[in-house]
Amino acid sequence: MDIIPTPYTLYLLRCNDSTLYTGITVDIKRRILEHNSSDKGAKYTRSRRPCVMVYHEQFNTKSEALKREIAIKKMSKAKKETLVLDSACNML
Protein backbone atom coordinates (compact mmCIF):
# COMPACT_ATOMS: atom_id res chain seq x y z
CA MET A 1 0.00 0.00 0.00
CA ASP A 2 1.47 3.32 -1.10
CA ILE A 3 1.15 6.31 1.18
CA ILE A 4 -0.15 9.33 -0.70
CA PRO A 5 1.52 12.48 0.61
CA THR A 6 -0.82 15.18 1.87
CA PRO A 7 -0.16 18.42 0.05
CA TYR A 8 0.48 21.39 2.26
CA THR A 9 -0.86 24.79 1.30
CA LEU A 10 0.95 27.96 2.21
CA TYR A 11 -1.50 30.85 2.13
CA LEU A 12 -1.72 34.59 2.62
CA LEU A 13 -4.91 36.15 3.91
CA ARG A 14 -5.84 39.79 3.55
CA CYS A 15 -7.47 40.85 6.78
CA ASN A 16 -10.18 43.47 7.16
CA ASP A 17 -7.56 46.06 8.18
CA SER A 18 -5.53 45.37 4.97
CA THR A 19 -2.78 43.51 6.81
CA LEU A 20 -1.52 40.16 5.51
CA TYR A 21 -1.43 36.93 7.50
CA THR A 22 0.69 33.96 6.41
CA GLY A 23 0.07 30.34 7.39
CA ILE A 24 0.17 26.72 6.23
CA THR A 25 -2.45 23.98 6.31
CA VAL A 26 -3.48 20.65 4.78
CA ASP A 27 -7.13 21.77 4.45
CA ILE A 28 -7.39 25.32 3.13
CA LYS A 29 -11.21 25.54 3.12
CA ARG A 30 -11.44 24.45 6.76
CA ARG A 31 -8.63 26.76 7.79
CA ILE A 32 -10.11 29.88 6.19
CA LEU A 33 -13.45 29.07 7.81
CA GLU A 34 -11.66 28.80 11.18
CA HIS A 35 -9.94 32.14 10.63
CA ASN A 36 -13.27 33.79 9.91
CA SER A 37 -15.70 32.16 12.30
CA SER A 38 -14.14 30.14 15.10
CA ASP A 39 -11.82 30.36 18.07
CA LYS A 40 -9.50 27.93 16.27
CA GLY A 41 -8.39 30.71 13.91
CA ALA A 42 -5.18 32.52 14.74
CA LYS A 43 -5.44 35.12 17.49
CA TYR A 44 -4.13 37.67 14.99
CA THR A 45 -7.02 37.16 12.56
CA ARG A 46 -9.81 36.93 15.15
CA SER A 47 -9.92 40.70 15.60
CA ARG A 48 -9.36 41.40 11.89
CA ARG A 49 -12.24 39.49 10.29
CA PRO A 50 -13.25 38.90 7.60
CA CYS A 51 -10.11 37.52 6.00
CA VAL A 52 -9.83 36.58 2.33
CA MET A 53 -7.20 34.35 0.75
CA VAL A 54 -5.13 36.36 -1.73
CA TYR A 55 -2.24 33.97 -2.39
CA HIS A 56 -1.37 30.30 -2.08
CA GLU A 57 1.31 27.76 -2.98
CA GLN A 58 1.27 23.94 -2.77
CA PHE A 59 4.05 21.81 -1.25
CA ASN A 60 4.49 18.05 -0.91
CA THR A 61 6.07 18.20 2.56
CA LYS A 62 5.48 20.16 5.71
CA SER A 63 9.18 21.02 5.81
CA GLU A 64 9.04 22.70 2.39
CA ALA A 65 5.92 24.64 3.37
CA LEU A 66 7.43 25.80 6.67
CA LYS A 67 10.62 26.98 4.97
CA ARG A 68 8.59 29.03 2.49
CA GLU A 69 6.38 30.39 5.29
CA ILE A 70 9.47 31.59 7.17
CA ALA A 71 10.86 33.19 4.01
CA ILE A 72 7.60 35.05 3.34
CA LYS A 73 7.26 36.19 6.94
CA LYS A 74 10.72 37.76 6.65
CA MET A 75 9.65 39.77 3.58
CA SER A 76 8.66 43.41 3.83
CA LYS A 77 4.98 44.22 3.36
CA ALA A 78 5.85 45.73 -0.03
CA LYS A 79 7.45 42.46 -1.21
CA LYS A 80 4.44 40.47 0.03
CA GLU A 81 2.11 42.84 -1.84
CA THR A 82 4.18 42.32 -5.00
CA LEU A 83 3.92 38.55 -4.55
CA VAL A 84 0.13 38.83 -4.27
CA LEU A 85 -0.12 41.20 -7.23
CA ASP A 86 2.13 39.03 -9.43
CA SER A 87 0.04 35.94 -8.66
CA ALA A 88 -3.17 37.81 -9.53
CA CYS A 89 -1.66 38.95 -12.84
CA ASN A 90 -0.65 35.36 -13.66
CA MET A 91 -4.24 34.24 -13.20
CA LEU A 92 -5.45 36.54 -15.99
Q: What does the pLDDT average to over 12-39?
A: 95
So what's the pLDDT on residue 15?
Answer: 97
Work out the pLDDT band at 2, boundaries 50, 70, 90.
low
> Could you give the number of structural domains in the chain?
1
Work out the pLDDT band at 8, boundaries 50, 70, 90.
very high
Other beta carbons within 10 angstroms of residue 69's beta carbon come to: 19
CA end-to-end distance (rounded Å), the chain: 40
In a domain, 1, yes or no: no
In a domain, 48, yes or no: yes
- Domain range enclosing 67: 8-83
User: 47: buried, middle or exposed (CB in 10 Å: 19+, 13-18, 0-12)?
Assistant: exposed
CATH number at residue 13: 3.40.1440.10
Each residue of 36-78: pLDDT tens digit? Answer: 998 888 899 999 999 999 999 999 999 999 999 999 999 999 9
In a domain, 72, yes or no: yes
Provide the whole-model pTM.
Answer: 0.90
Residue 1 predicted with pLDDT over 60: no
In a domain, 3, yes or no: no
In a domain, 59, yes or no: yes
Contact partners, residue 38, CB within 8 Å, separation at least 6: none
CA distance 14 to 19: 6
CA distance 91 to 7: 21
The larger pLDDT score, comparing residue 90 to residue 72, is at 72
